[in-house]
Amino acid sequence: MAATDRIRLTVSGESDVDQEELGELTAQLRRRLLELEVDDVRTVRRDGDVPEGAKPGELIAVGALAVSLAPAVLRPVVRLVETWIQNRPVRTVKIETDGRVLELGHASPEQQQRLVDAFLEGIPTTPGDPSARGGGEPPVTQE
């Protein structure tokens, strides 16, 4: 792995969540991620064809974030997302890095833990990282 990796997070809202609310949820997640030791968190530009005459705001893919981070910070980021998704009108958060994909949703705690553990297998940890084996995140507050 490189000294700095890039991951992509894609937030999908429940069926009753509109684009504006999804944008606010994504902004909340972005603020929480910036509290970690990540290098940068940016909104992702829309892929593919952009309609002619589109406004600058329409070039942003609502619900998508690009996170630049050291490999050792991936584990705390995944744990934060795992906790953040609870009690929010979010269907899933997809985490993509190095060809690997983890989709967090409203699975049972046991299922979710198995998915996260499998995804994080082989990911380096920082010395003394309390999130290396679950539950070490600071509490996530409702924004």
Residue-wise pLDDT tens digits, 51-81: 455 444 443 467 999 999 998 899 999 999 9
- DSSP-derived pairing of the beta strands 90-97 and 60-69: unpaired
123 pLDDT band, cuts 50/70/90, is: low
First-to-last alpha carbon distance for the chain, in angstroms, is 34
- The Cα–Cα gap between 81 and 13 comes to 14
Domains contained in the chain, CATH given: 5-47+54-133 (3.30.70.1430)
State pTM to two decimals: 0.73
Distances (CA, A) of 120 to 51, 123, 132: 38, 5, 9
